[in-house]
Amino acid sequence: MEKIISLAKRRGFIFQGSEIYGGLAGIYDYGPLGVELRHNIKQYFWDKFIKEREDTYGMSAAILMPAKVWEASGHTELFADLMVECLLCHRRFRADQEEVLSEHEEEHKKSLKEVTTFKKMWSGPKVFNLLVETRLGSSEETATSVYLRGEITQGVHVNFKNVLDSMHPKLPFGIGQIGKAFRNEITPRDFLFRQREFEQMELQYYIKPGEKVGREMFEYWKQFALDWYYGLGFRKESLRLRQHAEDERAHYAKDAWDIEYNMPGIGWKEAWGIHHRGDWDLKRHAEFSGVDLSYFDEVEGKRYIPCDIECSGGVDRAVLFVLLEAYTEDEMNGEKRVYLRLKPELAPVKVAVFPLLKNKPELVEKAREVYLALKKQFGNVLFDDNGNIGKRYRRQDEIGTPYCVTIDFDTLGEKPELKDTVTLRGRDTGKQERVTISGLGERISSKRP
């Protein structure tokens, strides 16, 4: 994790939020490379969950929602963690994170001479609500309390009727979205894993109520979400599915499973949740808003409130897990190197183009020509003429660029039989081959690095 945090900062992936002002705990900013990686992950979600399917719709709801929404969803009352305070230093922690509590105890133990003092360490647990509240309105009297959404889910449920009335879908169908969520986490930690502002990608899949259909659909989406996650490039043994125990489940959930990632040095941690939410959300919003949120089933000739199977994943956790999974140290040509074994589709830079020497205008000109042509085709292409070629390769390896292209004197026709060919170098193996400029685009799209 330390290596990833340092690489992420040094190479422009992720920075501490507002760092020059000392930063904010649990808040991160994405730099030029990180924003591309995150975008590619979100695009892959959108393609698989929305664009390639016939039974789902996309939407984008607002972040600010009235307090009533969160009363209906149960968040005002129940979206809370138990918190304990260290009576020695007054830091606060989640009561259920035993590992963190004992780590903290160890820190004090080291500095305390009297173990007896240590015994009086923790306060009794207090309930702490995670919703982030703010106010909208220009005067004290008229301002109203609103919440930054604690999950993106409710934005879909409150638009269920709008989608029904505008798109006229038949059950089963899904509505997905990607967007920011905010939680006043008591102990933000582990870099992007537990933040106070983060992004989620979700699908709410509405189905006809019933035991059998519920079970079948749940199994289908569990597998679909797992396959999607493997599609990000994870090894078989790095992911697992785990069913929630009864006391872990939300009170309304009929079944709940997590996709977990085996974080190096930390252990199994939640990446996605697949939840059978029953008809809880729509029923509650119908009750609290007074608007009928039932669906008319034309085949059965009756109205009912559909049930919801939810696939809910963290975008930032996916970014972190993809980086952890891709981070590789090996040896090449007798030297240690670090590279990110990212899938080419996810890599922030697709190809890097180098002129062999930066002080030979004819090499630079040709390299610029190749660079611009590739940029048209692949978008994120980088031009680098700084330092020796070996160093340039290492810099690209470290950010996971799958291919490097070098323009040398043979490209210009020094050896006539090699005119208009370049060296293409693959990231994982370091193997180099000679490819014609006209065939470069196809070679890069069809080959693994």
The residues binding ligand ATP (CB under 6 A) are 151, 183, 185, 194-195, 198, 200, 270-273, 312-314, 316-317
What minimum distance in Å lies between the beta carbon of 244 and ligand ATP? 9
Q: Which is nearer to ligand ATP, 36 or 151 (CB)?
A: 151
Q: Which is nearer to ligand ATP, 211 or 247 (CB)?
A: 247
Q: Which is nearer to ligand ATP, 46 or 378 (CB)?
A: 46
Taking the C-alpha atoms of residue 285 and residue 177, their distance in angstroms, rounded to an integer, is: 19
Tokens of 421: 């060919």
Q: Which is nearer to ligand ATP, 152 or 404 (CB)?
A: 152
- The answer to whether residues 182 and 196 touch, using CB atoms and an 8 Å cutoff, is yes
3-state helix vs strand vs coil in the chain, percent to 5: 35, 30, 35
The backbone torsions φ and ψ at residue 275, rounded to the nearest 5 degrees and listed phi first, read: -125, 135
- The residues with which 329 forms a beta bridge, in sequence order, are 338
Q: 149-167: string of b/e by CB count within 10 Å (b at 16+)? A: bbbbbbbbbbbbbebbeee
The backbone torsions φ and ψ at residue 299, rounded to the nearest 5 degrees and listed phi first, read: -65, -45
Count of other CB atoms within 10 angstroms of residue 429 = 10
Maximum CA extent, the chain: 84
Count of other CB atoms within 10 angstroms of residue 38 = 22
Is the four-CA dihedral 164, 168, 172, 176 of positive or negative sign? negative
What minimum distance in Å lies between the beta carbon of 218 and ligand ATP? 15
Q: Which is nearer to ligand ATP, 36 or 316 (CB)?
A: 316
What minimum distance in Å lies between the beta carbon of 345 and ligand ATP? 21
- The residues with which 179 forms a beta bridge, in sequence order, are 200
What minimum distance in Å lies between the beta carbon of 198 and ligand ATP? 4
Q: Which is nearer to ligand ATP, 261 or 339 (CB)?
A: 261
DSSP state of 350: S
What minimum distance in Å lies between the beta carbon of 221 and ligand ATP? 14
What minimum distance in Å lies between the beta carbon of 196 and ligand ATP? 7
Question: What dihedral angle (degrees, nearest 10) is formed by the CA atoms of 9, 13, 14, 20?
Answer: 60
Q: Looking at beta carbons, which residue is closest to ligand ATP?
A: 314
What minimum distance in Å lies between the beta carbon of 186 and ligand ATP? 10
Q: Which is nearer to ligand ATP, 284 or 425 (CB)?
A: 284
- The answer to whether residues 81 and 165 touch, using CB atoms and an 8 Å cutoff, is no
What minimum distance in Å lies between the beta carbon of 405 and ligand ATP? 37
Q: Which is nearer to ligand ATP, 262 or 294 (CB)?
A: 262
